[in-house]
Amino acid sequence: MTQEPPGPSAARLLVVDDEAVQRLIVARAAGTLGIAADGAATLAEAVERVQAVAYDVVVLDLGLRDHDGIELLRSLREAGSDAVLVFVSGFDERVRQAAARLAAALGLRVAGTLGKPLLVDRLLALLRALPERTGAKRAEEAPDIDPALLAAAIENDEIICLFQPKVTLQDRRLVGMEVLTRWRSPALGLVRPDRFIPLAERSGLIDRLTDRIMAQSLELFRPWRQQRPELTLAINLSPISLTDLTLPERVSTVLADSGVPPSALVLEVTEGAVMADYVAAADIMTRLRIRGVKLSIDDFGTGHSSLLSLLRLPFSELKIDQSFVRTCLHDPEAPKIIRAVVSLARELGLQLVAEGVETEPVAELLTRLGCAIGQGYLFAPPLSHAGLVERLRATVWAEAVR
């Protein structure tokens, strides 16, 4: 039997423990089951992580040095997480059971509890028997949100910007970051973009929302850019925006207000968005390019667009979709596709970015295939502004920005 490929549905685990050895033991055990593990040593780190990443499993030490671990349960619920919990603790069985009941009362699922020292066999047994995740349907099942609530949220700055680094695969230099938004709602908790972006599109709020996201992220970005003029900021555009002929004007206005030069801004658009109304998209994109803004094809390889029509547009960057990147070690077709995309990008003078880089072996293979830039959990999940500053201080790419 060959190893299971870590397909798009590969499980992700977060281990929250202040002892590095414990984190390592859990990560190793998870690895043997093909589960990718992240670690967090403090509650703050764990909260940051669960807000950015949809974990399948959270292994939680109830006796963190600074906090009691229970506080994370609330954050998980607020983040709309459907992760299954495994509690670890040196406390007696009754404390662990009480924690498990509390989690259940908060609507979180608990796979089981483990004592300390941790028995790897018991952990493996729990991980093997994990219940199916429920998250895939969450966005559809969730009750409709009142557009008035979203409209107010946009005005009240409840929409926050997270930043995910793009780095050079070989020497791990920071070259830019992508903005990924979240809605921090006092009424609803943390709402993910796949829930509120479509709502904004349906209810005529998308222009206002996009303008706010651009203004807010550019303002946070400006000081970084001043120190490192080669950094770029990438913002995702809704397909609707690519039918709005006033977009280039709006982008210029936001840029002028922010003091960031147009060449530092990358707008990411998906293939489908371009093909929906090709003439309007070509018009808008050409005018954006004339103004100096860069354009990126997002999720490349997932649409059903005409390659020729797509590549005639004035793109500056191409982001190869996660589905090829994550399978490239196991699926013999994936490296061939990546190699072809590398040469296509080279011929057309497009910067190529690999999305969803989760492991070192994948980063190595991508480098060998000729891909220079990557983005993914291996380097960092989407981070808050403070989180990114903190990470920059602690990482090799520290020289990038201080």
Q: How far is the CB of 97 from ligand G (least distance, A)?
A: 33
Closer residue to ligand G, CB minimum distance, 181 or 232: 181
Kindly state whether residue 376 participates in binding ligand G, applying the rule CB under 6 A: yes
Out of ligand G, Mn ion, none, what residue 238 binds, judged by CB under 5 to 8 A for its kind, is: ligand G
Q: How far is the CB of 259 from ligand G (least distance, A)?
A: 21
Q: Which residues contact 72 (CB under 8 A, 6 or more apart)?
A: 16, 43, 46, 47, 50, 58, 60
Closer residue to ligand G, CB minimum distance, 195 or 225: 195
Cβ density class 10-27: b for 16+ within 10 Å, e for less: ebbbbbbbbeeebbebbb
Kindly state whether residue 268 participates in binding Mn ion, applying the rule CB under 5 A: yes
Task: Clarify whether 355 is annotated catalytic.
Answer: yes
Among 68, 71, 93, 194, binds ligand G (CB under 6 A): 194
Number of residues that bind Mn ion (CB under 5 A): 3
Closer residue to Mn ion, CB minimum distance, 39 or 176: 176
Kindly state whether residue 296 participates in binding ligand G, applying the rule CB under 6 A: no
Q: How far is the CB of 6 from Mn ion (least distance, A)?
A: 21
Out of ligand G, Mn ion, none, what residue 213 binds, judged by CB under 5 to 8 A for its kind, is: ligand G
Residue 29 CB burial class (10 angstroms; 0-12, 13-18, ≥19): buried
Closer residue to Mn ion, CB minimum distance, 56 or 268: 268
Report residue 8 as tokens. Answer: 């798009």
Binding characters for ligand G, 225-264, by CB under 6 A (x = yes): -----------xxx--------------------------
Three state DSSP letters for the chain: CCCCCCCCCCCEEEEECCCHHHHHHHHHHHHHCCCEEEEECCHHHHHHHHHHCCCCEEEEECCCCCCCCHHHHHHHHHCCCCCEEEEEECCCHHHHHHHHHHHHHCCCEEEEEEECCCCHHHHHHHHHCCCCCCHHHHHHHCCCCCHHHHHHHHHCCCEEEEEEEEEECCCCCEEEEEEEEEEEECCCEEECHHHHHHHHHHCCCHHHHHHHHHHHHHHHHHHHHHHCCCCEEEEECCHHHHHCCCHHHHHHHHHHHHCCCHHHEEEEEEHHHHHHCHHHHHHHHHHHHHCCCEEEEEEECCCCCCHHHHHCCCCCEEEECHHHHHHCCCCCHHHHHHHHHHHHHHHHCCEEEECCCCCHHHHHHHHHHCCCEECCCCCCCCECHHHHHHHHHHCHHHHHCC
Kindly state whether residue 382 participates in binding ligand G, applying the rule CB under 6 A: yes
Among 167, 299, 320, 338, binds ligand G (CB under 6 A): 299
Kindly state whether residue 315 participates in binding ligand G, applying the rule CB under 6 A: no
Q: Which region among 89-97, 179-187, 225-233, 277-285 touches ligand G (by CB under 6 A)?
A: 179-187
By CB under 5 A, the residues from 272 to 311 that bind Mn ion are 298
Kindly state whether residue 158 participates in binding Mn ion, applying the rule CB under 5 A: no
Kindly state whether residue 56 participates in binding ligand G, applying the rule CB under 6 A: no
Closer residue to ligand G, CB minimum distance, 8 or 261: 8
Q: How far is the CB of 159 from ligand G (least distance, A)?
A: 8
Among 75, 181, 216, 236, binds Mn ion (CB under 5 A): 236
Closer residue to ligand G, CB minimum distance, 69 or 80: 80
Q: Which of 355, 358, 364, 390 is catalytic?
A: 355
Kindly state whether residue 193 participates in binding ligand G, applying the rule CB under 6 A: yes
Q: How far is the CB of 49 from ligand G (least distance, A)?
A: 12
Point out which residues bind ligand G (CB under 6 A).
164, 179-181, 192-194, 197, 213, 236-238, 268, 298-299, 322, 355-358, 376-377, 382
Residues designated catalytic: 355
